[in-house]
Structure 1
Amino acid sequence: MAAALSDSIPSVNKAWVYSEYGQSADVLKFDPSVAVPEIKEDQVLIKVVAASLNPIDFKRMLGYFKEIDSTPHTVPGYDVAGVVVKVGRQVTKFKVGDEVYGDLNENALVNPKKFGSLAEYTTVEETLLAVKPENLSFAEAASLPVAIETAYEGLEGAEISAGKSILVLGGTGGVGTHVIQVSKHVFGASRVAATTSTKKLDWLRSLGADLAIDYTKDNFEDLPENFDVVYDAVGQSDRAMKEVEERGKVVAVVDPITPPAFMFTLTSSGSILEKLNPYLESGKVKVVIDPNGPCPFSKTLEAFAYIEASSRAIGKVVVYPIPSP
């Protein structure tokens, strides 16, 4: 099987590409004959089975980070799940045929890769990957890396630990759904509160929230309690400061930031996924894919339009299968 996989690698593949900054609907184009990227010595070539979209994908496409971004011609996509079909000479962790998942970019913002996961094949350093949990589909695994690593590293930076309490602002988004679960099941938080809209309250409780707050009806500032940690995934750190204990911490992943809240930017690593794999395999931490998906590869433009309407998505929007049947 391994020989068959490596022998069948084409010279070109299908991919979504943008060559200038702008709205996804205007600049993102399907190209059926993009050259398959060459691997470096510390990289593997992955036959992509599934990818998922993140807000950074369309913000990068819009040129928000152009001063530090790699210049277009760009294949977008950070999250990937697929099968290793070729390995570099320095690679020791994986072999051809391994099913893997990860975030293609160690640093999300500074000179990220020009060739992402919205293609049939892509390359990535072995240090950014982990073996896919056997109980997860490729689509489920692709939904995880950026969101669950952001949740884990942000909680670690906020010094969450067993017995502490946390308020999650934006509990139903890709990051928020994992902050709820990771804070409770991995770090042992004693009380987890989270905000969402009316229709999603019961669903939020099913993820492990002890208190689900309807932001359309209630102000979280009116709660009769303060929290050891507030994790802000929606850009409300000014309000969040009112809800944290005197020595507590507010971590934010969305602007604007009100000090002493601190902005968190992910540094991806396959080792984080390896730490979390047992929780995923046991079912303690669950995958959350938007119920309107997965979206086939041919409908990637529609998937971008959906996540750009930011309040609509629940969990992660996954592109699968790649390529479309």
Structure 2
Amino acid sequence: MATPSVNKGWIYSEYGKTGEVLKLVENVGVPDLKEDQVLIKVVAAALNPVDFKRTLGFFRSLKDTPPPAVPGNDVAGVVVKVGSKVTKFRVGDEVYGDINENSLENQKQIGSLAEYTSAEERVLALKPEKLSFVEAASLPLAIETAYGGLELAQFSTGKSILVLGGAGGVGSLVIQLAKHVFGASKVAATESTGKLELLRSLGTDLAIDYTKENFEDLPEKFDVVYDTVGQSERAVKAVKEGGKVVTIVGGVPVAPQAQLFILVSNASVLEKLSPYLESGKVKAVIDPKGPFPFSNTVEAFSHLETGRASGKVVVYPIP
């Protein structure tokens, strides 16, 4: 395939709210390919809270790439060019992954919200054949986070788990992985009233309406509490003695007894979970308002920023 000369993308040139700083630019440049990278024609991209936090400048004090930049971590697309040392992929392969190895540092100048982006082969996996590009794009960052947090908590067969925020992008996958991959004895999860049925459909045994009851007041305690909403100080009250609390929410007080999980993107998790995705035992959960077309990316961010999305917010098609 010919290397493209034009690359359309959503770019922010200063820090601020996505609705104010994100602009669609006709030519943001095509990434220069390093020897261990592939160039991807983006078909679909998913949004994550880290994406809009980045545009707000939350990671300025770290080694974040300064603007102008195209945000976006999650990608599903087709390989159009390979670096000289790439061995895993060929031109024409359908791939997916979280293109930023460390989501808080050194993010790519051209992220996944563009027609073309680049990524190291080690963060990419072949797209499972049974998954659409939309489904595949929704998974990488969230499923790698879900899996990594469960590993950090030393979750294993026969243990019980409480998931705080079970309908979110990560929470919806924690439920499924705990149940169908790790062999949980019981899965409980919290959500608002309208999302309880979604929790049950994902395999939740006990769906807790947080608008009506406090999970920490339940007489039952759990081997692991997985916090996706930033409530670790409450979470420690719901865990058994000797149990584990994992949180994925930084930037808020984290209880001393809780462990903060920060993802380092690695395609080995995607490869390991591929059989579960191919069989349908673990499913992508797409927010019902999406997918959003590329031209409506700002609207997609606005929906994600409300905190009321179910599953993942996906942008598709990307022209």
Match of residue 99 from structure 1 = 94
CA shift for structure 1 position 256: 2.7
Instruction: Indicate which of 30, 33, 38 corresponds to 1:39.
Output: 33
Give a deviation string over 1:7-27, Cα, whole Å, max 9, x none. Answer: 2x3212110000110011111
Match of residue 167 from structure 2 = 172
Q: Which stretches of structure 1, 4 residues or longer, exceed 4 Å deviation after superposition?
A: none
CA shift for structure 1 position 102: 0.1
Match of residue 3 from structure 1 = none
Equivalent pairs counted in the alignment come to: 316
Identity %, equivalent residues: 70
Match of residue 301 from structure 1 = 298
Match of residue 70 from structure 2 = 75
Note if 1:262 corresponds to 2:259. yes
Give a deviation string over 1:280-299, Cα, whole Å, max 9, x none. Answer: 00110011000000000000
Match of residue 235 from structure 1 = 230
Note if 1:144 corresponds to 2:139. yes
AA of the residue aligned to 1:35: G
Match of residue 23 from structure 1 = 17
CA distance in 2, matches of 1:85, 1:256: 44
Match of residue 12 from structure 1 = 6
CA shift for structure 1 position 220: 0.5
CA distance in 2, matches of 1:199, 1:303: 21
CA distance in 2, matches of 1:224, 1:280: 35
CA distance in 1, matches of 2:13, 2:126: 33
Match of residue 106 from structure 2 = 111
CA distance in 1, matches of 2:253, 2:54: 18
Instruction: Indicate which of 260, 268, 272 corresponds to 2:269.
Output: 272
CA shift for structure 1 position 200: 1.4
CA shift for structure 1 position 240: 0.5
CA distance in 1, matches of 2:105, 2:284: 28
AA of the residue aligned to 1:283: G
CA distance in 1, matches of 2:240, 2:109: 42
Note if 1:322 corresponds to 2:292. no
Q: Which moved more, 1:196-205 or 1:265-274?
A: 196-205
Segments of structure 2 that go 5 or more residues without pairing to the other structure are: none
CA distance in 1, matches of 2:59, 2:145: 19
Note if 1:129 corresponds to 2:104. no
CA distance in 2, matches of 1:222, 1:251: 19
AA of the residue aligned to 1:136: L
CA distance in 1, matches of 2:318, 2:253: 36
Give a deviation string over 1:170-212, Cα, whole Å, max 9, x none. Answer: 0000000000001111111110000011111122111000100
Segments of structure 1 that go 5 or more residues without pairing to the other structure are: 1-5
Give a deviation string over 1:17-75, Cα, whole Å, max 9, x none. Answer: 00110011111100011211111000000000000000000001000110111111110
RMSD: 0.7
CA distance in 1, matches of 2:282, 2:161: 17
CA shift for structure 1 position 135: 0.6
Instruction: Indicate which of 45, 56, 60 corresponds to 1:51.
Output: 45
Give a deviation string over 1:217-251, Cα, whole Å, max 9, x none. Answer: 01111212111100000011111101111111100
Give a deviation string over 1:128-157, Cα, whole Å, max 9, x none. Answer: 000001011001100000000000000000
Q: SS state of the match for residue 35, structure 1?
A: coil
Q: SS state of the match for residue 74, structure 1?
A: coil
CA distance in 1, matches of 2:48, 2:130: 23
Instruction: Indicate which of 283, 286, 290 corresponds to 1:286.
Output: 283
Give a deviation string over 1:60-96, Cα, whole Å, max 9, x none. Answer: 1000110111111110000000000000010000000
Give the TM-score normalised by structure 1. Answer: 0.96
Give the TM-score normalised by structure 2. Answer: 0.98
CA distance in 1, matches of 2:211, 2:13: 40
Match of residue 249 from structure 1 = 244
CA distance in 2, matches of 1:10, 1:101: 20
